[in-house]
């Protein structure tokens, strides 16, 4: 497992995903507002992107009033500065490539915060296209195993039409990451549940197609810490990286 999928799993193991509650709601509110504005609707049935974000909000018990305010803000029904999407590309510790997505109401502030983090890590913030070619936009579905043979379950998932499947253990439970074309995300999710698997999470990600192997513990820790600091920024939504690291180095 590598890159974004590896970092997502490490976050779960470390508890990093449980960022303080208020910050989680802030990030989700921004994502909801953007989804409502770009989709032109506050109705999740006609706005797939909004539907996905609302599912994330439901999982962390985000209050309905907060959700509605975020939708209204996105549709221009509430006063406030206009939110915009931003992306950042650069190289962090160990020459690992990063692709970062954010939502901000002040581009200059966010630019400076991200630039400072890259420089303090010993890396550098690049321009558009400096790392984007190392990633592909894909649908990622996190699947809980049915309790059978891991090999057989992987083959079953592949037979559904997945481009690739990665297996991993979490709290003693066999799980899988299934990748598909971004346009097939919802269709594939339905196929998976129809054959008896449980879909824990799904969404669009930037999956690395060029990997950088991290061979020593010190560099691995620097990469993890840098990714964590990026995600701690209020304006940052998702962090993708192209590192490949062994389980032994992250224990």
The CATH number that applies at residue 181 is 3.30.70.980
**Does residue 10 form part of some domain?**
no
Residue 7 is predicted with a pLDDT of 57
Rounded Cα distance, 96 and 224, in Å: 11
Q: Do 48 and 155 have their domain in common?
A: no
Q: Are residues 62 and 105 in the same domain?
A: no
pLDDT at residue number 112: 97
At residue 178, the pLDDT reads 92
Give the total number of structural domains in the chain: 3
| Contact assessment for residue 230 and residue 117, using Cβ atoms and an 8 Å cutoff | yes
Helix (H) or strand (E) holding 169, with range, is strand 164-170
Specify the CATH number for the domain of residue 39: 1.10.10.200
Residues 185 and 154 in one domain: yes
Q: Which residues pair with 125 in a beta bridge?
A: 90
Q: Sign (positive/negative) of CA torsion 213, 9, 140, 148?
A: positive
CA atoms within 13 A on the CB side of 221: 4
**Residue ranges in the chain whose pLDDT is less than 70:** 1-22, 249-251
> What is the distance between the alpha carbons of residues 236 and 113, in angstroms, rounded to a whole number?
10
pLDDT at 171: 79
pLDDT tens-digit readout, 37-47: 989 999 988 99
Residue 126 and residue 226 share a domain: yes
Q: Which domain does 94 fall in, by range?
A: 86-133+210-250
3-state secondary structure of 2: coil
């Amino acid at each position: 497992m590598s890159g974004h999928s590896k970092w997502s799993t490490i976050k779960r193991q470390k508890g990093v995903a449980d960022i303080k509650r208020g910050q989680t709601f802030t990030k989700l509110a921004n994502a909801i507002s953007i989804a409502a504005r770009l989709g032109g609707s506050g109705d999740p049935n006609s706005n797939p992107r909004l539907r996905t974000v609302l599912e994330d909000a439901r999982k962390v018990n985000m209050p309905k009033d907060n959700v509605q305010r975020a939708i209204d803000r996105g549709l221009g029904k509430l006063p406030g500065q206009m939110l915009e999407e931003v992306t950042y590309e650069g190289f962090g510790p160990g020459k690992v490539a990063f692709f970062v997505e954010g939502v901000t109401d002040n581009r200059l502030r966010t630019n400076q915060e991200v630039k400072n983090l890259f420089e303090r890590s010993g890396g550098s913030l690049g321009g558009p296209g400096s790392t984007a070619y190392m990633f592909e936009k894909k649908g990622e579905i996190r699947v809980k195993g049915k309790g059978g043979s891991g090999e057989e379950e992987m083959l079953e998932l592949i037979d559904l039409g997945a481009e690739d499947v990665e297996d991993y253990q979490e709290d003693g439970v066999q799980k899988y990451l299934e990748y598909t074309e971004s346009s097939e995300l919802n269709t594939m999710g339905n196929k998976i549940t129809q054959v008896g698997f449980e879909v824990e999470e799904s969404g669009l990600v930037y999956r690395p197609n060029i990997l950088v192997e991290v061979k020593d513990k010190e560099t691995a820790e620097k990469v993890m810490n840098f990714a964590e600091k990026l995600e701690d920024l209020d304006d940052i939504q998702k962090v993708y990286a192209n590192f490949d690291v062994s389980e032994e180095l992250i224990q």
